[in-house]
Amino acid sequence: MTIEFETPKPIVNFRFMLQTVADNMMRPVSREMDENEHQIPYDYIEFMHTAMKSTGAGSLAPRESKKEEDPAKPKHAPIAYQSLASMLEMLAWGDVGMYLITPGGGLGAAAVQAAGSPEQKAKFLARFNGEKPTFAAMCMTEPQAGSDTSAIRATAVLDKATNEWILNGEKIFVTAGHKSFVPDEKFGAGFIVVWATIDPTAGRAGMRAFVVEAGTPGVTVTKLEHKLGIRVSDTAAIALVDARVPYDHVLGSPTVEKTTTGFKGAMATFDATRPLVAATGVGVARAALEELKKLLAEQGVTVRYGLPRQKLSAIERDVIDMEIMLKSAWLMVLKAVWMADNQKSNALESSMSKVRAGDIVTKITQKVVEIMGPLGYSREYLLEKWFRDAKITDIYEGTGQINRLVVARQILGYSGAELR
């Protein structure tokens, strides 16, 4: 089975629509959204929900088939993750903060997709095709458990009398945590996926994910973070105090086993979503690089492709180097999402794409600001905003340092205990 580099027609058509959205609904309000942190662009959210619902693009939620497949026709591999990567790259090109509040499952749905049973997938993912925009979030990071997710202290205890799980703990830096959990009359009923341990003595083997419905008593959004970039996206702190969830809301086995299947479920989520985060970094980098070339062209500076490197100006060499970085990062994303769609293990490729994208987006946006000098540093253009937005790519969903460790372990064959 080989990777095909021709973009599937459904993705081409959807990207054309997304380009219009980025040009007309995101870029014009990008500065306003950045300066008014946590302001909710309802028009954008409702439009994207309608568009995604009508096309089915960019969603992992199951959809009913309108016609029976012809058994005589060859079956093609699904393109769910390829579609998501292409969609998110274009939306991040428009405004990465607004992309993060695009309705849909996000990390919460990805966790259900990776670790949930068929019945749980049908129950929780179908709501994203409902009448109202709906959000989901994943709650993993804790004050003492950032990159080291095995250090999670949140607990889940089974109350046998009521057959409910009682959750206690504190989660921080939850992307879209407020929109996913706090009821809003304009949004559908969302949920958060809380990672907790059912046996603190079992280590990673005791880790499980629990779907917690919006508005569940005992769960409180305690804080919204004020951030360097992606300021329109809400990043929440959430406290759980004796919060009760139904027994069947645990993803995976409800009993402790000798294996680390619970922890592997968490890592499988990241294997699926890290390339998507990488795709958003590519989108931001592409936005900055394209704007730089446009501004340079207005000043009579164009890149003379085809000339020997020593005959190019320093700016020309910088632009070409940035284009190489951008294309290499996108190719790594394509390989990782292709593997995800074809149900191939992609832990190595997933982390490699995340490392590469986090690296190039910070380098490209910094270099763009540097080349434009005072204009790049000023608020007259979005260049400085993209510089601020870029860094998060290297931080969330596993820092660049952690993902480099993952890559090294995969290549060298070391365990986490052997290589830290």
Q: Which two tokens stand for residue 90?
A: 């274009």
**Same structural domain for residues 301 and 232?**
no
What is the C-alpha separation between 53 and 155, in angstroms, rounded? 36
What's the pTM value of the predicted model, to 2 decimals? Answer: 0.90
Give the active site residues.
Answer: 397
Q: Which two tokens stand for residue 78?
A: 């699904």
**Same structural domain for residues 393 and 274?**
yes
Least confident of 32-41, 46-55, 260-269, 393-402: 260-269
* Confidence tier at 270 by pLDDT (50, 70, 90): confident
Return mean pLDDT, the chain. Answer: 90
417 is a domain residue:
no
**Same structural domain for residues 150 and 223?**
yes
- Better-predicted residue by pLDDT, 268 or 376: 376
**Same structural domain for residues 110 and 141?**
no
Tell me which residue has tokens 């763009």. Answer: 368
328 is a domain residue:
yes
Tell me which residue has tokens 């500065």. Answer: 31
Q: What's the pLDDT score for residue 198? A: 94
Percent of the residues in the chain that have a pLDDT greater than 90, as a whole number: 73
Of 197, 229, 259, the last residue of a domain is 259
Helix axes of 118-125 and 106-115: crossing angle, nearest 10 degrees: 160
- The segment with the largest mean pLDDT, out of 44-58, 197-211, 239-253, is 239-253
Percent of the residues in the chain that have a pLDDT greater than 70, as a whole number: 90
Structural domains in the chain (count)? 3
* Confidence tier at 59 by pLDDT (50, 70, 90): low
**Same structural domain for residues 180 and 284?**
no
**Same structural domain for residues 87 and 140?**
no
Q: Is the pLDDT of residue 148 over 80?
A: no
305 is a domain residue:
yes
Do residues 332 and 278 lie in contact, with contact meaning Cβ atoms separated by under 8 Å? yes
**Same structural domain for residues 276 and 335?**
yes
The CATH number assigned to the domain holding 22 equals 1.10.540.10
What is the C-alpha separation between 36 and 330, in angstroms, rounded? 31
Q: What's the pLDDT score for residue 231? A: 96
**Same structural domain for residues 272 and 236?**
no
Q: Which two tokens stand for residue 339?
A: 């593997």
**Can you tell me the mean pLDDT for 97-106?**
91
Do residues 279 and 89 lie in contact, with contact meaning Cβ atoms separated by under 8 Å? yes
190 is a domain residue:
yes
Q: What's the pLDDT score for residue 63? A: 46
Question: What is the residue range of 247's domain?
Answer: 135-259
Least confident of 7-11, 39-43, 151-155, 188-192: 7-11
The CATH number assigned to the domain holding 254 equals 2.40.110.10
Number of H helices, E strands in the chain: 13, 8
418 is a domain residue:
no
**Can you tell me the mean pLDDT for 399-414?**
94
What is the C-alpha separation between 240 and 221, in angstroms, rounded? 9
**Can you tell me the mean pLDDT for 348-377?**
97
**Over the stretch 322-355, which tens digit does the pLDDT of each residue have?**
999 999 999 999 999 999 999 899 999 999 999 9
Of 259, 288, 315, the last residue of a domain is 259
**Same structural domain for residues 279 and 371?**
yes
Q: Is the pLDDT of residue 370 over 70?
A: yes
Helix axes of 314-341 and 347-372: crossing angle, nearest 10 degrees: 160
Residue 44 burial (CB count, 10 A): 24
3 is a domain residue:
no
Q: What's the pLDDT score for residue 258? A: 60
Least confident of 26-40, 244-258, 335-349: 244-258
Of 232, 259, 286, the last residue of a domain is 259
**Same structural domain for residues 58 and 93?**
yes
CB proximity list for 214: less than 8 A, separation 6 or greater: 180, 181, 182, 183, 189, 190, 191, 192
What is the C-alpha separation between 83 and 341, in angstroms, rounded? 10
**Same structural domain for residues 143 and 227?**
yes
Q: Which helix (H) or strand (E) holds 224?
A: strand 219-224
70 is a domain residue:
no
Residue 304, CB-side half-sphere exposure with 13 Å CA sphere = 10
Report DSSP letters for 229-249, one per residue.
S-TTS-EEEEEEEEEEEEGGG
First-residue to last-residue Cα distance in the chain: 35
